[in-house]
Amino acid sequence: MSAPNKSYDPVEVEALKPEEIERMRDEAFAAFAAAGDLDALAQAKTAHTGGTSPLSLANREIGALPPQAKAEAGKRVGQARGAVSKALAARQAELEAERDARVLVEEAVDVTLPYDRTPAGARHPLTTFMERVADVFVAMGYEIAEGPEVEAEWFNFDALNFVPDHPARQMQDTFFVQGTTPDGKVTEGDESGVVLRTHTSPVQARSLLERKPPVYVVCPGRVYRTDELDATHTPVFHQIELLAVDEGLTMADLKGTLDHMVQALFGPDMKTRLRPNFFPFTEPSAEMDMVCYVCRGESVGNPDRPCRTCGSEGWIELGGCGMVNPKVLTACGVDPQNVQRIRLRVRHRTDADVPPQRRRHARHGRG
């Protein structure tokens, strides 16, 4: 005979007693309140709402109760677990707000404070202009050629038909660099045979040695001379060299090339002129002028409209040009009887309406 079905009171289960349920709930409340940060709260959450927490274990005990007792016990445990979940959510929101407020204080940026501005560089006007000039000739089929700024005296003078006693070869006009003889002897002054190039013409000699005609090269670069620094002179300035060696070239080709360069750079109405001159590396030689790009020649004989750029002369000197001297071709291994050749050197010029040389060659940051 089976035992009688005893009425099961949930209070008889220790874990389901009302005071035990309240104790478990209050312990969870206390643990949440004691958590000082989100990491501590996460540990308290696991301890009081996880699968092995007291309330979860008590909830498992409900399954062992008879049907008539499950409802009451389930309601009691469910209310406690709901209260714990609300307390957990409230404490988490509180700690997150504290964290966000702390981050705002620690990482705050005072927009009223001055800040270190990183200067942005800009391309130097000289560099930009030299590239513009080179681009004009590249568009005509010329090739860019470059050479060393510390140059052998032979390339700088001898190959270009400078006689040994030419004034340009003196130390008062040229920077000589300390050199070394094959036996290790140190040489200085005009005995070193090494100079800071005084013009870009050595690139012309190197190009003739490296290439066979036809040769069409343009050679931009810095050059050095022992000039005193003032508003119109500097020991370091820029030149751009043009060399064309081919059959059938004449001074007319040179003049047409000059006209195209000036008009491409300064406008289609610009004019040029050639004045006879002498250079050891050209024969015949000429100085090239262009009409003043500021006054367009209107300041000549007009005292009411003086021009600082051209000095009211109406023309601006750009540089020397001419047909390459046959002696230069011979020195560089080219037969002057088989080719004709034209040459132009444009010098960097200081105008009265631009800053002095010292400032023009300095580097400036642009903010």
Cα 217 from Cα 344, distance rounded (Å): 11
Nearest by Cα to 355 from 230, 271, 262: 230
Question: First and final CA of the chain: distance in angstroms?
Answer: 102
Q: Is the Cβ–Cβ distance between 320 and 345 less than 8 Å?
A: yes
Question: What count of Cα atoms within 13 Å lies in the side-chain half-sphere of residue 222?
Answer: 11
Element spanning 149, H or E: none
Nearest by Cα to 196 from 219, 233, 168: 168
**C-alpha separations of 105 from 97, 102, 111, 113, 116 in Å:** 12, 5, 14, 16, 22
Q: Tokens for 39, please give them.
A: 């990491």
Angle at alpha carbon of residue 289, lines to 332 and 145, rounded to 5°: 35
Q: Which residues of 299-315 are buried (b: 16+ CB within 10 A; e: fewer)?
A: beeeeeeebebbebebb
Q: Is the Cβ–Cβ distance between 357 and 295 less than 8 Å?
A: no
Residue ranges per domain, the chain? 10-106, 122-366
Nearest by Cα to 115 from 294, 367, 366: 367
CATH domain 122-366 topology: BirA Bifunctional Protein; domain 2 (3.30.930)
Cα 73 from Cα 12, distance rounded (Å): 11
Q: Is the Cβ–Cβ distance between 329 and 303 less than 8 Å?
A: no
Q: Tokens for 268, please give them.
A: 């289609």
Cα 145 from Cα 209, distance rounded (Å): 12
Residue 351 is predicted with a pLDDT of 36
Q: Tokens for 250, please give them.
A: 């004449």
Contacts of 193 (CB under 8 A, 6+ apart): 152, 153, 154, 179, 187
Place of tokens 């997150």: 96
Q: Tokens for 159, please give them.
A: 């190959």
Residue 66 is predicted with a pLDDT of 75
Residue type, 219: C
Residue 342 is predicted with a pLDDT of 61
Q: What is the pTM of this model?
A: 0.59
Residue 12 is predicted with a pLDDT of 55
Task: Per residue of the chain (367 residues), give pLDDT as tens.
Answer: 344 444 445 445 666 788 888 888 999 999 999 998 999 999 999 998 888 888 888 888 887 777 777 788 888 888 888 899 999 999 999 999 999 888 888 887 777 777 777 778 888 888 888 899 999 999 999 999 999 999 988 999 888 888 887 777 776 678 888 877 777 777 776 677 888 999 999 998 999 999 888 899 999 999 998 888 876 678 888 888 889 998 888 899 999 999 999 999 999 999 999 999 998 888 889 999 999 988 888 888 888 888 988 888 999 998 899 998 889 888 888 888 877 656 666 654 433 334 444 444 455 444 3
Residue 357 is predicted with a pLDDT of 42
Residue 56: is it exposed, middle or buried by C-beta count within 10 angstroms (0-12/13-18/19+)?
Answer: middle
Please state whether 301 falls in left (phi above 0), alpha (psi between -120 and 50) or beta.
Answer: left
Nearest by Cα to 319 from 357, 281, 353: 281
Cα 354 from Cα 321, distance rounded (Å): 26
